Structure 1
Amino acid sequence: MVEQGNGIPLDSKLFEKRGYNKDIMPKPVEQRNSSAFNFFTLWMGAVHNIPNYTAVGGFLLLGLSPLQVIIALVLSSFLIALLLVANGYAGSKYGIPFAMHLRHTYGDIGAKLPGILRGVVAGIAWFGLQTYAGSQALLILISKVFPGFTHIGDGATFLGITIPGFIAFIIFWVINFAIGFGGGDVLNKFTAFLNPLIYIVFGGMTIWGIYVAGGVGNIVHYDLDSNSGLLYPALLAFFLIFNSLLGVWAGPGSSVADFTQNSKSTKSQIIGQTAGIVVAQTLFAVASVSIIIGGSIYIGHQEWNILTIINEWSSFWAILVALGVLLLTTISTNATSNIIPAAYQLSALFPKIVNYKRGVMIASIVSVLIMPWKMMENEDSIFVFLNMIGAILGPVTGVMIVHFYFVAKCKINIDELYFDVNVKERAIPKVNQAAYIATIIGVVVCLLGFLPGFKVISDFSWFIGFLSSGLIYLLLKSLNKKEQGA
């Protein structure tokens, strides 16, 4: 019917007749245009966003030295790259998107739950957090132009947020909603312009941080006031940082096939993603620590929030440029990585009543109801959020990788995946029960970490979820094989 591997598909009308739209069809070779350089630039700008800088501010309170935090950030880049490359192999080899990668792992109907976990739960939560983080940057800009704006409401709060803060949130929420409602394709047109601008601005901020600190030595030897509630032995503190950053990348890490399906070859995505993540994360490690510690020295006390540091600058134009770039990166990542996946998953869950645009509306409304400002109240709350995402998506990714590499042996039959041509053997079942059991157990175990006395599970949720679900799934499949052979 169709050729396997790199020769798919031959006839797109065949897929259309079975209800597959162009986004779900496997990409033929002639349509795979993403080179190693494209993947390199894809992730270069993704690390410079407000939640990432906020997370680094929290890392500096773990009891590690600034140099150790930089080393941990650099080392984490190799784990992130490995995650993206490994889970992206199915997409680059067969040209299939995330939705079909899930179907191959969890089954036709079974793919809906992990799709919801990625697109709806994680997607909406990240959309809300990014929108709130961006609104804080917008609030600073508005207050610089209209100093009286911050006095609206005389300190009164609404749903746990000040009136000026809520107004800024709604303004920025409307902008993100509008872009999501219209689709994220337009964002790709200025990525080539945005990425160089990001490194010019944050490069300048890094030089500023080193200058006001009195040199690199003062940054490296800065005496950090650690938060006693987050203290770990050095090795565990490193893994806590790894876990939090894997939580940051848990969404793209699970749905990376949506990107790698466009890869010219598997080699292209391996080289491009690895180089992009490692270079970007290394530069981010130096920049974030230098800016936060340099800024702390500049304002006279240890500060974990980059927005507070920028707000202390005396130059309006410097504030405008820095916050403007942060707003642009937030809008870009928010549309492509959060609201769009959430809308598509809602559409897949309720295809008869929810289309893409209704999905955007539902996801956007829910992102306000979850009150995302609670996720960035202090340096601890960002850890809770990242660990929650890790608890949800770590198990899903663990099962996906184990299934593709150890159960399917890196082989996908496109005919069976799309057309159910081998129904007797049920190659693609409606629900892969073993995958479901393993995923649910992993998620439940990780969520126990949010109960009193189990905090250590929460702090390492991505690793625990990934390993426990992956191993349980492998064990269940092995037992099933033995029963069939008996």
Structure 2
Amino acid sequence: MAESIPAGYSPRLYNEDLAPAEHRRWGFYSLFAMWMSDIHSLGGYTFAAGLFAIGLGAWQVFLALVVGIVIVFLLMNLSGYAGQKTGVPYPVLARISFGTIGANLPALIRALVAIAWYGIQTWLASRAVIIIALKIWPGAQGLTENNFLGESTLGWLGFLLMWALQLVLLRNGMDTIRRFQDWAGPAVWVVMGLLVVYILLKAGWKVSFELQGGTATWGVGHAFAAAIALTVTYFSTLLLNFCDFSRFAPDRRSVWSANLWGLPVNFIAFSVVSVVVTAGTYQVYGKHIYDPVEIVGRIDSVWALLLGAVTFAVATLGINVVANFVSPAYDLANVWPEKITFKRGGLIAALIALVITPWNLFNSPLVVNLFLGGLGALLGPLFGIIMVDYYVLRRQHVAVGDLFRERGYYTYRNGWNLKAVGSFAVSAVPAVIVALVPAFDYLAPFSWFIGAAIAAVVHWAISRHDTSIAESVAAAAAAEPAAGRPPEALI
């Protein structure tokens, strides 16, 4: 790999996967399909209906979804534009604010969240495989009656199948992933369309939207604000690393258009369909069913079962690849670029997701709430620091080449920007406390916003007079018009 490193770049910081993107093949449709893959999942299906549980009515849930997803659209553009302009993935973008070595802190935090959910989502996808297997081979029921490390033989076989299928996507890196996303997301829309027609026909086109909900403990106003905040938090992982995908976009307009149609338009449409189907199940089956795989399993047709189960397995793999596979592949490559490529990073992430036996994580409230909840609370502060640094302090002027040099504008002190680390520490503590301590349940839904806001303000306050930032901005701004090309070419 050393022969391909440009002059002046460090092998500790550079490999071809982390380098600014040269081939910009992720146009409008590929990014739009990526959002379909992310949203058209079992989690996305149950999310909208789940908001009724916090004590909101149908119109309030709908309005909260609209407001929340518009906020997501605006914030996602920030990450997307940065990736498209610089051409670099999330861990390299984080070097701008945290330093060339310090960027491993935000990268590994994001990777830990992704790997845990990578394993969990793979296991959830395997549930659809088991439904298919038992429908076709009823005799396989005996394989579900033993237990090894918390899972049956059939469970292990289903999990390993889904686990292996995702590794196939590593074959040609991001290009294979792009081709997979191009059809995976739309495929779910086809099945969802058939499912909503089936449920409405069985219900006689009579559906009540009075879904079973909870009580608004602190009033409807708080519940409405919480629903908006939860909608934003649902996308908190990709708010950090959407640049992993937008770096391959040919222009900013492609990013904006794909985000518009993929987030507000597609998310709201899919949420409405999900609520309609869930509401219809009460009329048909006498109870609200929030799992579409279970609904498909009740259809008295092997072909319908196969179509539905396969599609929702693909849907789960789709969100897994987008939210939990690509990110750790880049994040781990960033730790040791000389030895770890994107493909090797993905393989390492997959192996870790295998050995942690994710069903044991998912079935442990302590692990899910404390470990994953605590890590999730850290994503807001990271977003606040990285975005205020890029847009406010540097005004989008970055000397991209210095992101790969041992001595440059982003070396700071031995590769660490202690101001960014300090901002993170100051904001992470209240974010985690609000997210996890029961006494702050009132504020818990807003932990992402609290962490992001504190981090952004603190980082801006202690860095706004930093002379090194002013020097890097001046150098990058001066180079851009001279080159006549976007900053990704300034290497």
TM-score range, shorter chain: 0.7 to 0.9
| Aligned counterpart, 1:26 | 20
Determine if the alignment matches structure 1 residue 73 to structure 2 residue 86: no
Taking the aligned partners of 1:239 and 1:374, their CA distance within structure 2 comes to 33
Determine if the alignment matches structure 1 residue 276 to structure 2 residue 276: no
Q: For each residue in 1:300-346, what CA deviation from the matched residue of structure 2 results, as whole angstroms up to 9, or x when unmatched?
A: 12333332222222222112111211112222332354234323322
State the shift of 1:90 in Å. 1.8
| Aligned counterpart, 2:416 | 431
| Aligned counterpart, 2:164 | 174
| Aligned counterpart, 2:89 | 97
Rate the CA distance shift 1:376–1:231 in 2: closer, same or farther, 3 A: farther
Q: For each residue in 1:383-422, what CA deviation from the matched residue of structure 2 results, as whole angstroms up to 9, or x when unmatched?
A: 8898556413121111111111221122112343344675
Rate the CA distance shift 1:24–1:360 in 2: closer, same or farther, 3 A: closer
Taking the aligned partners of 1:75 and 1:378, their CA distance within structure 2 comes to 33
| Aligned counterpart, 1:3 | none
Determine if the alignment matches structure 1 residue 251 to structure 2 residue 240: no
Q: Secondary structure at 1:14's aligned position in 2?
A: coil
Rate the CA distance shift 1:35–1:166 in 2: closer, same or farther, 3 A: closer
- Aligned positions of 1:43-62 closer than 5 A: 43-62=35-54
CA contact 1:247–1:389 (8 Å) conserved in 2: no
CA contact 2:15–2:341 (8 Å) conserved in 1: no
More displaced, 46-55 or 398-407? 46-55
CA contact 2:79–2:243 (8 Å) conserved in 1: yes
Taking the aligned partners of 1:301 and 1:205, their CA distance within structure 2 comes to 17
Taking the aligned partners of 2:293 and 2:367, their CA distance within structure 1 comes to 16
Q: For each residue in 1:438-485, what CA deviation from the matched residue of structure 2 results, as whole angstroms up to 9, or x when unmatched?
A: 22333332322323433344433222222222222223224868xx9x
Q: For each residue in 1:177-210, what CA deviation from the matched residue of structure 2 results, as whole angstroms up to 9, or x when unmatched?
A: 4544774532433444334322221112222333
| Aligned counterpart, 1:198 | 188
State the shift of 1:436 in Å. 1.1
Q: 1:338 aligns with which of 312, 324, 327?
A: 324
State the shift of 1:86 in Å. 1.1
Rate the CA distance shift 1:148–1:219 in 2: closer, same or farther, 3 A: farther
Q: For each residue in 1:229-261, what CA deviation from the matched residue of structure 2 results, as whole angstroms up to 9, or x when unmatched?
A: x75533332333333333332222211222222
| Aligned counterpart, 2:453 | 467
| Aligned counterpart, 2:113 | 122
Amino acid across the alignment from 1:136: R
Q: Secondary structure at 1:219's aligned position in 2?
A: coil
Taking the aligned partners of 2:278 and 2:366, their CA distance within structure 1 comes to 17
State the shift of 1:65 in Å. 2.0
Taking the aligned partners of 2:27 and 2:343, their CA distance within structure 1 comes to 31
Rate the CA distance shift 1:263–1:339 in 2: closer, same or farther, 3 A: closer
More displaced, 186-195 or 287-296? 186-195
State the shift of 1:49 in Å. 0.7
State the shift of 1:167 in Å. 4.0
Residue ranges of structure 2 left out of the alignment (5+ in a row): 471-491
Taking the aligned partners of 1:357 and 1:27, their CA distance within structure 2 comes to 16
Determine if the alignment matches structure 1 residue 476 to structure 2 residue 486: no
Taking the aligned partners of 1:142 and 1:52, their CA distance within structure 2 comes to 25
Amino acid across the alignment from 1:219: S
| Aligned counterpart, 1:85 | 77
- Aligned-residue sequence identity (percent) comes to 26
CA contact 1:296–1:309 (8 Å) conserved in 2: no
Amino acid across the alignment from 1:445: P
Q: 1:131 aligns with which of 118, 122, 127?
A: 122
Q: Secondary structure at 1:170's aligned position in 2?
A: helix
| Aligned counterpart, 2:475 | none
Rate the CA distance shift 1:455–1:68 in 2: closer, same or farther, 3 A: same
| Aligned counterpart, 1:403 | 389
| Aligned counterpart, 2:105 | 113
Amino acid across the alignment from 1:397: F
Rate the CA distance shift 1:17–1:419 in 2: closer, same or farther, 3 A: closer
Taking the aligned partners of 2:16 and 2:348, their CA distance within structure 1 comes to 24
Q: 1:225 aligns with which of 207, 212, 220?
A: 212
Q: 1:211 aligns with which of 201, 221, 240?
A: 201
CA contact 2:97–2:417 (8 Å) conserved in 1: yes
State the shift of 1:430 in Å. 1.7
| Aligned counterpart, 1:5 | none
Q: For each residue in 1:17-39, what CA deviation from the matched residue of structure 2 results, as whole angstroms up to 9, or x when unmatched?
A: 543333222245xx434444443
Rate the CA distance shift 1:374–1:286 in 2: closer, same or farther, 3 A: farther
Q: 2:428 aligns with which of 420, 440, 443?
A: 443
State the shift of 1:150 in Å. 3.6
- Aligned positions of 1:415-426 closer than 5 A: 415-419=401-405
| Aligned counterpart, 2:137 | 146
Rate the CA distance shift 1:302–1:389 in 2: closer, same or farther, 3 A: farther
State the shift of 1:286 in Å. 1.1
Amino acid across the alignment from 1:206: V
Q: Secondary structure at 1:60's aligned position in 2?
A: helix
Q: For each residue in 1:84-133, what CA deviation from the matched residue of structure 2 results, as whole angstroms up to 9, or x when unmatched?
A: 10122222223333232111111111100101111x21210221121122
More displaced, 45-54 or 90-99? 90-99
CA contact 1:394–1:465 (8 Å) conserved in 2: yes
Residue ranges of structure 1 left out of the alignment (5+ in a row): 1-11
Rate the CA distance shift 1:201–1:293 in 2: closer, same or farther, 3 A: same
Aligned pairs, how many?
A: 462
Taking the aligned partners of 2:290 and 2:362, their CA distance within structure 1 comes to 11
RMSD: 3.4
Rate the CA distance shift 1:418–1:376 in 2: closer, same or farther, 3 A: closer
Q: For each residue in 1:116-170, what CA deviation from the matched residue of structure 2 results, as whole angstroms up to 9, or x when unmatched?
A: 111x21210221121122011112111211224344354x555455554344323
CA contact 2:118–2:324 (8 Å) conserved in 1: yes
